[in-house]
Amino acid sequence: MKSLLGEVVYEEFEKAIENEVKTSIRLNPWKKKPNFELKERILWSKNGYFLENRPSFTLDPSFHAGAYYVQEASSMFIDHILQSQKVEKGIFLDLAAAPGGKSTLLSSYLGEEGFLVANEVIQARAQILKENCIKWGLGNILVSNNDPEHFEPLEGFFDLVLVDAPCSGEGMFRKDPQAREEWSTDHVMLCSARQKRIMDRAGALVKAGGYLIYSTCTFNELENEEMIRFLTDEFSYEPVRIPLDPTWQIIESKVETEYGDFFGYRFFPHLVEGEGFFITILKRPENAYSLVPKKMKDFKHRFLKEIGAKEAEQLDSELGIAPNGAYYQLNESYFRIHHNWKNHVDKLSQHLSIKYFGVEIGKKQGKEWIPSPAWALSTLPKNQYNTIELDQEQALTFLRKGELKLLDLEKGWTLVCYQSLPLGWIKNLGNRINNYYPKEWRIRHL
Ligand SMILES: C[S@@+](CC[C@H](N)C(=O)[O-])C[C@H]1O[C@@H](n2cnc3c(N)ncnc32)[C@H](O)[C@@H]1O
């Protein structure tokens, strides 16, 4: 750090990492705003705000409704990159995605015009990623649980690939004392070697004219600038320079390579109200040559059944959804995606271990239709259902999967909402009210 910053500035850095980092959130632009005051916007992010203090997010039902994501400010710079480059919306990949901070940002950017593959190699973390993507609710994400190597047949498939790499975590020294304990030069070398393995695969997945974004939460050059050199040696990429407002105090780093000057951006804790961070973006030339995919292990989902176009139209009409869905059936459950992405999902399902995709609408059990919690949390309409507005206490009871005592509730299914934000389903059986909030999501420590 001393060689990166010089002795004098190093002291400022050392002081800064003893201070608390400001809490920040990013709003879900496709859902209703939560009912609290947001005064200080994060300047490089369209939907990011600093909070004055750190509230208990667990006790805020609008957090569980996916109205916002708690994310530190530096990471939201991706928003500025996408907006300033006017990156075309298409099919994006977030290769190291859990718990989903950057995936939910990419999903917001894409909206209905794009589709995101959010991948996580560690199974337990892929489960958390899936939960966060469901709550975000846009239905434009496919969650997979694969090693980057498994993506080999998808070379040249993606308009944008983001790799937020596992790293030595120097930028987390302030938040996480364990990160300081675990740091060693050997660990930095190990991280750098692992990043090269990942980027050796990721670099080939971008289509001609597409973008590759690489980021870490560490400062050292071996895991950052060195990776830019590695990528330009292995693949043909063009540099991209991001416009910066000097008041943001983000430090640009120029990397001279034999293929031209490339740029990275560093976020230091003594300059920026966020965690330490490094990010770079490269562009695959329009005339880049794509490798011919090799045959590899087949992950085809044997149980995924496609629903015909006619039946899909009928389902959309019965459910009150615009007639632009493609449906798949997995056991008794129905999953819906925008039909524009059907061919992509078909291709992806041949190679990836899919954990979730689109919106799980519900399942048929005998003659009964059971609406899914994911549908409740999605931005798709649910107009034909009764809704009920809960106060905070009642909403927390619902999220604990407790029993709600509600008078004059109509028989059958009701969508429960908090501040007009859907949380899930209850069903009035006459003698009792069943709570359909998923057991694995219920909030416990209250
Ligand atoms: C920095 S975190 C990603 C954070 C995430 N992008 C977000 O914004 O919420 C890096 C992720 O890489 C995963 N990972 C670890 N080893 C990996 C490997 N060899 N290949 C790909 N991903 C790996 C970790 O499990 C972790 O979830």
Within a domain: 410: no
Within a domain: 93: yes
pLDDT digits (tens, 9 = 90+) for 106-141: 999 999 999 999 999 999 999 999 999 999 999 999
Query: pLDDT at position 36, please?
Result: 87
Q: Is the pLDDT of residue 391 over 90?
A: yes
Are 128 and 98 in contact by the 8 Å Cβ rule? The answer is: yes
User: What is the mean pLDDT of the segment spanning 369-389?
Assistant: 97
Catalytic residue check, 217: yes
pLDDT digits (tens, 9 = 90+) for 284-314: 999 886 654 444 444 455 678 899 999 999 9
Within a domain: 53: yes
Q: Which residues lie closer than 8 Å to 308 by C-beta, 6 or more apart?
A: none
Provide the residue range defining the domain that includes 118.
2-283
Distance between CA atoms of residues 192 and 226, nearest Å: 9
User: What is the mean pLDDT of the segment spanning 389-416?
Assistant: 96
Show the 3-state SS of 217-233: CCCCHHHCHHHHHHHHH
User: Which one of 120, 141, 353 would you pick to mutate in the ligand 1 pocket, going by the greatest count of ligand atoms within 8 A of its CB?
Assistant: 120
Handedness of CA 400, 401, 406, 412 (dihedral sign): positive
Q: Is 96 in the pocket of ligand 1 (CB under 6 A)?
A: yes
Query: pLDDT at position 444, please?
Result: 84
Distance from the Cα of residue 51 to its chain's centroid = 21
Distance between CA atoms of residues 380 and 182, nearest Å: 44
Complex ipTM over 0.90: yes
Point out which residues pair with 370 in neighbouring strands: 363
Within a domain: 259: yes
What is the 196 CA–ligand 1 centroid distance (Å)? 14
What is the 329 CA–ligand 1 centroid distance (Å)? 30
Query: pLDDT at position 394, please?
Result: 98
Q: Which residue's CA is the closest to the ligand 1 atom numbered 24?
A: 166
Query: pLDDT at position 302, please?
Result: 61
Tokens representing residue 280 in the block? 């770079």
The total of structural domains in the chain comes to 1
Q: Which residue's CA is the closest to the ligand 1 atom numbered 21?
A: 96
Q: Is 156 in the pocket of ligand 1 (CB under 6 A)?
A: no
CATH number for the domain spanning 199: value is 3.40.50.150
Strand 412-418 and strand 421-428: pairing?
antiparallel
For 297, 329, 333, 336, 375, the CA distances from 363, given in Å and listed in that order, are: 31, 9, 4, 12, 11
Q: Is the pLDDT of residue 175 over 80?
A: no
pLDDT digits (tens, 9 = 90+) for 44-60: 999 999 999 888 999 99
pLDDT digits (tens, 9 = 90+) for 236-265: 999 999 999 999 999 999 999 999 999 999
Binding-site residues sit at 96-102, 120, 147, 164
Within a domain: 212: yes
Query: pLDDT at position 300, please?
Result: 54
Within a domain: 122: yes
Q: Is 169 in the pocket of ligand 1 (CB under 6 A)?
A: no
Q: Which residues lie closer than 8 Å to 436 by C-beta, 6 or more apart?
A: 370, 373, 424, 425, 426, 427
Within a domain: 364: no
Query: pLDDT at position 22, please?
Result: 92
Distance between CA atoms of residues 97 and 164, nearest Å: 7
Q: Is 196 in the pocket of ligand 1 (CB under 6 A)?
A: no
